[in-house]
Structure 1
Amino acid sequence: MKVVCLTLLFALVCGAQETPAEIDPSKIPGEWRTIYAAADNKEKIVEGGPLRDYYRRIECIDDCEYLSITFYDKDDGTCLLLTEVAKRQEGYVYVIEYKGSNTLEVIHASQNMLVTYVENDDGEKITKMTEGLARGTSFTQEELQKYQELNSERGIPNENIENVIETGKAPDNDRYPK
């Protein structure tokens, strides 16, 4: 009887383990806007922080073997439009050198929402962060809840979420709405 109970308990525990959702690569490319950013080291993502950036476009190269990421970044008060290319390691985990060594993982992709998880090693500290991107200029309440769940799963406090869209400005011809 104990064996049956233990087997049942084991089956319940294994069944409760959530398997990672499969990413549909067709949902990755396109125009994106950074809506939210969160990090375990919040000073890295606040306005003026070294990891504060404003996504504009993501393109898949060679069946998403590489991601071309176009974004704005401020450097000494100057807004720069940059494009960096990340190389896939496994699954949807990519490596990119930008303000340190980074692993970037696409952890959620839907028609209107994309979430990336990044571990940035600046040589002194590893910062865990997520960025919530949208095709428009906001998240629905359900999308915000999903973003918060993904932060919690990765140990990033939801109180460290920054609403990037409210503070981000790019050049006049491509401005975040206020």
Structure 2
Amino acid sequence: MKAVFLTLLLGLICAVQEAPAQPESSEITGNWYTIYMAADNKEKIEEGGPLRTYFRRFECIDNCEKLSITFFVTNYDSCTLPTVVAERAEGNVYHVDFMGKNSVQLIRVSESMLVFCAENFDGKKTTNVTYALGKGSSLSQEDIQKYEEINNERGIPNENTEDGTQTDHCPK
């Protein structure tokens, strides 16, 4: 009986610790817009910060072995539109060089929300950053709550969240 209980307990622990499943190509490919952004080092996402990013489009390449990411970076009033291609590593983690070395993961929260999570190493310091991405310009209260939970799991305080809809002046 103890063996059955321990097996069940171990199974539950493993299930809780599983990484989120990789979203399907059809769930990723398309236009996505930055609704919120947050970082454990808030200066990286503040006005003029190197990780102040306004996403526009994701496209899966080769069954999502590569991920094309189009976004705006801003430097006060100017908008620059780069496209980078991230390479899949293990599971649903991608690697891409932009403003340092990045490990990124996409988490599908709902039909209308993705969370883009990244660890950015700029050569000196690692910054954890997340972006709540939507198909439109707002999210449901449920989606916002899930975003806050994801930030808490990554050690990002809720007060480090910026509302991207209020500061995105780049072309749609």
CA shift for structure 1 position 11:
4.0
Contact 2:47–2:76 (Cα < 8 Å) also in 1: no
1:70 corresponds in structure 2 to 70
1:117 corresponds in structure 2 to 117
The whole-number CA distance in structure 1 between the counterparts of 2:157 and 2:4 is: 36
The whole-number CA distance in structure 2 between the counterparts of 1:95 and 1:12 is: 34
TM-score with structure 2 setting the length? 0.88
1:15 aligned onto 2:9? no
- Specify every segment of 5 or more residues in structure 1 that has no aligned partner in the other structure, as ranges: none
1:18-97 → structure 2 map (5 Å cutoff): 18=16, 19-25=18-24, 26-75=26-75, 77-97=77-97
The whole-number CA distance in structure 2 between the counterparts of 1:14 and 1:79 is: 48
Structure 2 counterpart of 1:66, one-letter code: K
CA shift for structure 1 position 112:
0.7
SS at match of 1:90: coil
The whole-number CA distance in structure 1 between the counterparts of 2:20 and 2:96 is: 23
- Specify every segment of 5 or more residues in structure 2 that has no aligned partner in the other structure, as ranges: none
| 1:31-67 deviations in Å (ceiling 9; x for gaps) | 0000111111011011221100100010001111111
Q: Structure 1 vs Structure 2: percent identity of aligned residues?
A: 49
What number of residue pairs does the alignment pair up? Answer: 169
The whole-number CA distance in structure 1 between the counterparts of 2:157 and 2:147 is: 12
The whole-number CA distance in structure 2 between the counterparts of 1:20 and 1:101 is: 21
The whole-number CA distance in structure 2 between the counterparts of 1:139 and 1:64 is: 25
Contact 2:23–2:106 (Cα < 8 Å) also in 1: no
Structure showing greater radius of gyration is 1
TM-score with structure 1 setting the length? 0.86
CA shift for structure 1 position 14:
5.0
Structure 2 counterpart of 1:138, one-letter code: S
The whole-number CA distance in structure 2 between the counterparts of 1:36 and 1:158 is: 11
